[in-house]
Amino acid sequence: MRISARARLGYRLVTYATIGLLYLPLVLIFVLSFNSARSLVWPPRGWTTRWWTTFFDVESARAALLSSARIGAVAMVIAVVLGTMLAFALQRHDFFGKQTVGLLAVLPIALPGIVTGVALRNAWVRFGWDLGFLSVVAGHTTFCIVVAYNNVVARLRRVAPNLREASADLGATPLQTFRYVTWPLIRSAVVAGGILAFALSFDEVVVTTFTAGAGISTLPQWILNNFSRPNVLPYVTVMATIVIVVSLPIAWLAQRLSDGGGETR
Amino acid sequence: MNKRVRAVLAIVSGVALLGACGGDDGGDAMSELGEGEGQVNLVAWAGYVEDGSTDPNVDWVSDFEAETGCEVNVKIGNSSDEMVELMRSGEYDAVSASGDATLRLIAAGDVAPVNLDLIPNYADVFEGLKNKPWNTVDGTPYGVPHGRGANLLVYNTEAGPAPSSIVDMFSPDSPYAGKISVYDAPIYIADAAIYLMATQPELGITNPYALDQTQFDAAIAALEAQKPIVGQYWALYTDQQAALESGSVTLGTTWQVIVNLAQGNGAKIDATLHKEGATGWSDTWMISSKAKNPNCAYKWLDHIISPEANAGVAEWFGEAPSNAKSCALTANPDHCTIFHAEDEEYFSNVYYWTTPTKECLDGRTDVECVPFSEWVNAWNKLRA
Amino acid sequence: MAGLLGAPLAWLLVVYVGSLALLVASAFFSLDELSGRVTTDPTMDNLAEAFGESAYWSLVARSVGVAAAVTIACLALALPSAYYVSRLARPWAKRGLIVAMLLPLWAGYLVKAFGLRAIFEPGSEVGGGGLLRALVGWSPGFGYVAVIATLAYLWFPYMLLSVYAGFERLPESLLDASADLGAGSLRTFRSVVMPMLVPSIAAGSIFTFSLSLGDYITVKIVGGTAQLIGNIVERALLAPNQPLAAAFTIWPIGIMVAYLVVMGRLGAFENL
């Protein structure tokens, strides 16, 4: 396709403008973390580094970070295992109801979080169990499965099927084929799926609100609660900036892993 | 029989009906106080449980934690309905319930009777708050009074003089149109009823919580007419605070604590009471029937109505304390006068939040009144 | 194979679909009048309320409208950007640009919503106001416009990712062939590129549509007095009236299942 230089410039402008717009609110939050007033209006009332220097003393922030990390880690592991299994089952085999299962695999993300959250809470309470770590993990795992499944299935589609046949022709058992041929090809997709699942769980707030009960406070809940407590609000902007900065290499890694591997045709 | 006695009789008979039906059993009151369990989980109104993190000088929790070893965890309930929902889960030990929550909690068996012998500070509570229909059923006490107050009108001092009438909240040609802030809960329908009491006396409303279908429909119509001039329906107190500080709200129904917080951030606002009479609340600290930390819960109840703590919360929140001795301890010596702590006459004109029932709370027997479940449905539709 | 399928299916069916079924079933329960507790006495009242009242019909229509507007807005920005990064940008810049556009996804939903609140804050004549007000002297304020803008901002990376993957999958040879046959770039775009992109767009739209349809937190943060389906569900839950909330959830469940079926026909599932 031939694109005129003017059109090319136009596309470039739109792209860079979009990037600019994407980062505007984030930069705003970063700047407001130095605001001496405890609210989110512009311009800032004054400047201070107080919030940054005292941030690590805020115990509730540390506890929330830890809580989110624990829940995310457990949900990620279960989701990756189950999601990968599901991807293999759907990609490799034909069976009755395959379309429906495919739909089912997407449903937890396709249905609004409030539906998932309310449904899980209702079921949990009806069975008389206490809401807590397990109920939150159950909720997170459910939508994390989708992410893990998506990543592995996308990779499996790209992996040439004749590789497996070739391996079998050469005398390998299914287990050996998996270990030496399949796994190296999908490994990075599994890891990418895991990273994305963790990120999703880390950031999730709606399902968490309904399944957490009294004892759990994840990072998003901490943020939500502290936006309601104006005098801890500036710490939220600090936390946000830290999360963004830490996420940069992780986002890069996830993208690299998703792209790589399996490009055999 | 004057209307006050009729109202009380109605409440009492309604409550007796409750007792007769049994409802769910909240269990028995504790007979003996044991060792603290190490923590207590509270559901409270914003500003009721302050540990210094909002303002370092506002703290009546740290000394409690140090004395009793009970670490306090508080979940803020933004409305009575939310508090009822939270207590239903059984995960909290105590709740500061307004009158429109207490009877629902008692009927559902979510709160247990309270043994007042285990709460020494109860002795100093104002007599006018003891043995009330919303905290005592069949002579069984279900909690201790926290304090009481009225829902005020907040206004921006630069937008005009203090509004004296509730009409400014509802009239389409209100000078504050578009910048009005309304409490986002079904119980606000009672405020619309008060508006009707003043502007449409022919409807014959005497108790804003006792509305027959005609009166109720009129109240909903008034609220529909109010919608175009409303700038904000606030559920979180911080939302109204932020709007007051930014100036996008210049009139609204409020609590004194919100006004104080916004003034602290420079908002040019003040609070006033409109002449038609206001809705208000008289809150009761109650103990969950499924409390995991009942001993700490009892200790908390005793602490929050102790003279110092009650004075602290009454000043911070802006309400009348329940402990008579608190009046001598408030930083502002006129606090109790300003908030009419000893003025029973004043509070007889405050319409405390109550749960509307089918049996009319004003004593009428010829009609059925609209029950709270219908209030909820109507409010949902109004906000949709 | 059964082993592979068994465990995840068990989870999805038992934990997820099971709870959904319980939820829908609970829509038929009623509340005890005095205590407000949920009983198992069956009633159609909740469904009548959720599906019979015109106020809720317009609420649902508004929610669908907002979700559609968000999807279109995301698409409008994602198409040119994805095309640029995939086809026009220098190869060494490609990865950087894509990561740059996806990174905000990691910043956190709430933080971004509150950031946008600080932008849209209308203030008043007496002062205050957010970034927009400070920069251009005016802001649309809190309402449906702010909600649509915020949701589009939040979900844009999902749409971008899908559309970008779609562009990457387009074989260059096809576009050359179209040019050889005499088609101008616009015609090529319309007749060759777009049809091949439809599955990716459909896949991306699943995220933007469903995440917007059920959102209630953004509505509370930047929506002012606006209400969408999610808010009504939350409101009913806090009443507390769980059966009524369950009845309301049947709306988004029905809409999304229908949407998924349609998107599936368009090939979305192979491109998620």
One pLDDT digit (tens) per residue for chain C, 272 residues: 667 777 888 888 888 999 999 999 999 999 988 778 888 889 999 999 999 999 999 999 999 999 999 999 999 999 999 989 988 888 888 888 888 888 888 778 988 998 898 899 887 776 667 788 888 888 898 999 999 999 999 999 989 988 998 888 888 888 888 888 888 777 888 888 888 899 999 989 998 999 999 999 999 999 989 999 999 999 999 888 999 999 999 999 999 999 998 998 888 877 66
**C207: closest CA among C249, C144, C165?**
C165
Handedness of CA B281, B282, B288, B293 (dihedral sign): positive
Give the distance from CA B179 to its chain's centroid: 24
Q: What is the DSSP letter of C11?
A: I
Predicted complex: ipTM over 0.95? no
Across the interface, which of C23, C99, C112 has its CB nearest the CB of A255?
C99
Burial of B67 (0-12, 13-18, 19+ CB in 10 A): exposed
Pairwise CA distance, residues B119 & B107, whole Å: 24
Rounded to 5°, the CA angle A179-A185-A191 comes to: 95
Pairwise CA distance, residues B4 & B20, whole Å: 24
**pLDDT for residue B97:** 95
Across the interface, which of C4, C80, C252 has its CB nearest the CB of A11?
C80
Residue with the bigger pLDDT between B12 and A130: it is A130
Pairwise CA distance, residues B316 & B240, whole Å: 17
**B362: closest CA among B30, B1, B11?**
B11
The share of chain A scoring above pLDDT 90, in percent, equals 26
Task: Tell which A residues from 153 to 182 touch C, by Cβ distance under 8 Å.
Answer: 153-154, 157
Secondary-structure breakdown of chain A: helix, strand, coil percentages, each rounded to the nearest 5? 75, 0, 25
Measured in degrees and rounded to the nearest 5, phi and psi for residue B131 equal 55, 50
**pLDDT for residue A104:** 84
Q: What is the DSSP letter of B115?
A: -
**pLDDT for residue B22:** 40
Residue C23 to residues A172, B126, C101, C254: CA-CA distances in angstroms?
49, 47, 38, 13
Give chains near C: 3+ CB pairs under 8 A.
A, B
Q: Strand pairing of B94-97 and C38-42?
A: unpaired
Secondary-structure breakdown of chain C: helix, strand, coil percentages, each rounded to the nearest 5? 80, 5, 20
Confidence of residue A33 (pLDDT cuts 50, 70, 90): confident
Nearest residue in chain A measured CA to CA from B241: A230
Mean pLDDT of A94-118: 85
Would you write out chain B's pLDDT as a tens digit for each of its 384 residues?
A: 455 555 555 554 444 444 444 445 678 888 888 888 999 999 999 899 998 877 888 999 999 999 999 999 998 898 999 999 999 888 899 999 999 999 999 999 999 999 999 999 999 999 989 998 889 988 999 999 999 999 999 999 988 888 989 999 999 999 999 899 999 999 999 999 999 999 999 999 999 999 999 999 999 999 999 999 999 999 988 889 888 888 889 999 999 999 998 898 888 999 998 889 899 999 999 999 999 999 999 999 999 999 999 999 999 999 999 999 999 999 999 999 989 998 888 888 899 999 898 989 888 999 999 999 899 999 999 999
Secondary-structure breakdown of chain B: helix, strand, coil percentages, each rounded to the nearest 5? 40, 20, 40
Task: Flag if C123 and B85 touch (Cβ within 8 Å).
Answer: no
Mean pLDDT of A176-184: 85
Residue C148 near residue C66, CB atoms below 8 Å: yes
Phi-psi label, residue C182: left if phi above 0, alpha if psi -120 to 50, beta otherwise: left
Q: Is C66 on the interface with B (CB under 8 A)?
A: no
Nearest residue in chain B measured CA to CA from C52: B381
| pLDDT tens by residue, B79-101 | 999 999 999 888 899 999 999 99
Nearest residue in chain A measured CA to CA from C235: A114
Give B66→chain C minimum CA distance, Å.
34
Pairwise CA distance, residues A113 & C252, whole Å: 11
**pLDDT for residue A167:** 85
Residue C253 near residue A111, CB atoms below 8 Å: yes
A6 pLDDT exceeds 70? yes
Give B4→chain C minimum CA distance, Å.
24
Task: Flag if C240 and B88 touch (Cβ within 8 Å).
Answer: yes
Burial of C91 (0-12, 13-18, 19+ CB in 10 A): exposed
Q: Is A24 on the interface with C (CB under 8 A)?
A: yes
Residue A54: CB atoms within 10 Å: 12
Q: Is C55 on the interface with B (CB under 8 A)?
A: yes
Give A250→chain C minimum CA distance, Å.
9
Measured in degrees and rounded to the nearest 5, phi and psi for residue B44 equal -145, 160
Give chains near B: 3+ CB pairs under 8 A.
A, C
Query: Does residue A43 have a cis bond before it (omega within 30 degrees)?
Result: yes
Residues 6+ apart with CB under 8 A from C3: none
Picking from A134-138, A164-168, C268-272, which range would have the lowest pLDDT averaged per residue?
A: C268-272
Place of tokens 């504050």: B176
**B199: closest CA among B168, B233, B230, B224?**
B168
Measured in degrees and rounded to the nearest 5, phi and psi for residue B252 equal -175, 165
Q: What is the mean pLDDT of chain A?
A: 84
**pLDDT for residue C121:** 84
User: Which chain C residues are closer than 8 Å to B108 by Cβ?
Assistant: 32, 35-37
**B146: closest CA among B43, B288, B306, B285?**
B285
Place of tokens 């540390």: A62
Residue B66 near residue B317, CB atoms below 8 Å: no
Task: Flag if A86 and C229 touch (Cβ within 8 Å).
Answer: no
**pLDDT for residue B3:** 57
**pLDDT for residue A260:** 62
Q: Strand pairing of B152-156 and B269-272?
A: antiparallel
Pick among B89, B237, B261, B292 to test the A interface (most A CBs inside 10 A): B89
**pLDDT for residue C127:** 64
**pLDDT for residue C215:** 94
- Please provide the distance, in angstroms rounded to a whole number, between the alpha carbons at the two ends of chain C: 23
**pLDDT for residue B16:** 44
Task: Flag if B91 and A231 touch (Cβ within 8 Å).
Answer: no
Task: Flag if C56 and B246 touch (Cβ within 8 Å).
Answer: no
Nearest residue in chain C measured CA to CA from B21: C34
Lookup: tokens for A126: 């009806």
Helix or strand run (H / E) with residue C204: helix C194-213
User: Which chain C residues are closer than 8 Å to B250 by Cβ?
Assistant: 124
**C122: closest CA among C110, C111, C138, C136?**
C138
Q: Is the pTM of this model over 0.90?
A: no
- Please provide the distance, in angstroms rounded to a whole number, between the alpha carbons at the two ends of chain B: 42
Orientation of helix A219-227 relative to helix A59-92, angle to 10°: 130
